[in-house]
Amino acid sequence: MSYTIIILLGLLLIAPIFIAYYYDYKTDPKQFSFSVKTLGKGLGKGIIYMAIYFGINKAYELLVPLNKNHGMEFNSEREQLGIPTLKSDWKVSDYESEQFTTYWWKPEPRNGHFKKIIEYGILDSKTETDYYHNENKKGTFAWSKYDFDKREFQYFMELPNEKLVSVTDRGQLRVEKPTVVKNVSKSEFENYITE
């Protein structure tokens, strides 16, 4: 669509409004100027309210969470808590990270400890999840999740599902997910990451 067509369509929409304002002004100029002043005051207040709203929203995005200082400098606290540390060559993924979540990735090859996700609340970090991959066991992943509020770990493992197809109680075939996520013990988890 060319610019001349857009301009003509704009004029077709705006011209009747200006014609109506002209006739309104001709019928009662005093009332017309009063309504224009009232409209200007309302528009000014609306712009101020919008500026305040967007300013507060931007400040919220920049300042919350209040403590997002859980990068490399937090490694000494991680060692005390028993959480795996970040290595110096790890990078933050700006593509995946959000206001309340930070993704750290190990460079290639990604065998062993390869990813860390830190989730934040308003005041401080909530959880820190560390992902592991063992190249000797294809199709499996393991991760540990540390909860800062409860001060405890949970361990998980994603395994290939050997039972891809099963039969329901009614005799119908059901296709299962290709992987199964299990909550595992600390010893099973450590066995997986050290093999």
Q: Residue 1: pLDDT band by 50, 70, 90 thresholds?
A: low
- Cα separation of 104 and 114, whole Å? 8
Residue 123 or 173, more confident: 123
Q: Is the pLDDT of residue 53 over 60?
A: yes
Instruction: Delimit the domains of the chain by residue range.
Output: 3-63, 72-194
Q: Whole-model pTM above 0.75? A: no
* The pLDDT of residue 17: 78
Contact predicate 131/145, CB 8 Å: no
Q: Are strands 125-133 and 141-147 parallel, antiparallel or unpaired?
A: antiparallel
The per-residue pLDDT for range 80-115, each reduced to its tens digit, is: 999 999 988 999 999 999 999 999 999 887 788 999
Contacts of 160 (CB under 8 A, 6+ apart): 139, 140, 178, 179, 180
pLDDT (mean) for 178-195: 87
The per-residue pLDDT for range 114-166, each reduced to its tens digit, is: 999 999 998 889 999 999 998 888 778 899 999 999 999 999 999 887 776 66
DSSP state of 87: P
* The pLDDT of residue 151: 92
- Residue in this structure with the two tokens 């991959």, named with its chain if needed: 133
